[in-house]
Chains A and B, each alone.
Chain A
Amino acid sequence: MSAFREYAELFWVFFRIGAVTFGGGLAMLPILERDLAKSRSWVTLDELIDYYAIGQSTPGIIAVNVATFVGYKRKGIWGSIVTTVAIVAPSIVVITLLAMFLNNFADIVWVQKALRGINVVVAVLLISAVWSVGKKTFIDWITVAIGVASFLAMAVFNVSGVIIVLAAALLGVAIRYRPARGGKGGASDDESLGPAGIEE
């Protein structure tokens, strides 16, 4: 495939994702999983989860962060610029048109009704995304406990995502990190971690 075709496909995939995502970056996950991991194998589901984890804890809008990440992985810096522009382009077009012609868009009754239907579908998509992500990330009782604790911290106690990300990462290090034995670091870093290691 020519370079132009590859960039065009990258643009089109992310433009489409930007155009059909209602309800923020997390609601995008089911479509990203389908379009990027299942139909194209551009990234693995594991990588998408990592990008979300990083996107939650770095500046910027999560959806844009994930798009930038995937674009970079596919085609370097130019790829990341293409995907970032592609994911915001539908917003620019739709919002500009609405601002020009339809100021009371959100008050139209059938728009509200259609959005209620969309919300129900998004709930289905997100629940099945939690299911498929959970199968990958909940590998033992400790990870289940971290996941449940994160859910409760955010849903019940309104703890900010940044704090949850930091706490989960620190817990991971505290529970799983074993310094390299005998080696001077470096080379031995890539070995299996032994009995306490993470199988991947």
Chain B
Amino acid sequence: MISLFELFWIFFYVGAFTIGGGLVAITLMQQEILGRGLITPERFYNMVAISESTPGPIGVNMATYIGYETHGVIGGIVTTAGTVLPSLIVILAIAMFFGKFQEKRGVKAAFYGLRAGTTGMIAVAAWQVLTIAILTIPEFMRTKRAADIADWKCLGLFAVTYVLYVKFKWHPIVFIALGAVFGAFFL
């Protein structure tokens, strides 16, 4: 059985080399955890499914899960700490100096492009959720019927939510709760 200390460093490594989001973390965990045979592949993919269907960052959920499986509650805390520690250190270092650099011409010019690029990447996230949640493109490709391009109940929910969100500006949490209830009963 792997020691807690070793497990901490595996997840520290995963946290340090995860650049660009949770899916990268899952790939690294796959290499490190499955590569060492700590957990069966079937169990691992079951964990991925659960981590995606529970709240919180997917990388953190996975770390907690694997830590719990190998060492119980303490294991889950240790692996999570290992995963977030590199980002805590790096971001603190950047945050301490960011204020000073922010006003430099070069940095301002870089952020002029960077903000636009980030907007594009946020749009990718929106597009991906949209295709998963509403569009049924594989079904459409199979049947070639225009009616199969989207899930109409989900599209209806989308339209109603959009109008309510823009009009009333309720807190996003309210809409997430309503979406969960509607989904459980009507989808």
Q: Which residues of A contact B (CB under 8 A)?
A: 16, 18-27, 29-31, 34, 46, 49-50, 52-65, 68-69, 72-73, 77, 80-81, 84, 87-88, 90-92, 94-96, 98-100, 103, 105-107, 110-130, 133-134, 136-138, 142-144, 146-151, 153-155, 160-162, 164-165, 167-173, 175-180, 189-190, 193, 198
Contact = CB atoms under 8 A, between A and B. Distances in A.
Contacts of B105: 177-180, 189, 193
B139 to A, nearest CB: 15
Contacts of B123: 130, 134, 147, 151
Interface in B49-107: 49-61, 64-65, 68-69, 73, 76-77, 80, 83-84, 86-88, 90-92, 94-96, 98, 103-106
A113 B85 CA distance: 35
A65 B16 CA distance: 12
B126 A91 contact: no
Given A117-B180, A128-B166, A168 B87 contact: no
Contact of A144 (B84, B116, B133): B116
Given A116-B133, A190-B103, A68 B122 contact: no
A95 B76 contact: yes
A68 B87 contact: yes
B18 A61 contact: yes
Interface stretch (B2-10, B30-38, B141-149, B154-162): B154-162
Most buried by A among B25, B52, B60, B181: B60
B164 to A, nearest CB: 9
Contact of A134 (B58, B117, B119): B119
B5 to A, nearest CB: 19
Nearest to B84: A64
Interface string B116-137: 1111111111111110111000
A126 B130 CA distance: 9
Interface residues of B, number: 95
Contacts of B111: 50, 53, 169, 172
A19 to B, nearest CB: 5
B140 to A, nearest CB: 18
5 contacts: A18-B55, A91-B80, A114-B180, A114-B181, A130-B119
Given A137-B116, A151-B123, A164-B121, A60 B165 contact: no
Contacts of A142: 116
A147 B56 contact: no
A149 B117 CA distance: 8
Given A60-B84, A121-B178, A193-B108, A171 B92 contact: no
B133 A122 contact: yes
Nearest to B94: A54
A73 B94 CA distance: 11
B1 interface: no
B51 A114 contact: no
Given A92-B80, A189-B105, A129 B126 contact: yes
B87 A64 contact: yes
B95 A119 contact: no
A155 B124 contact: yes
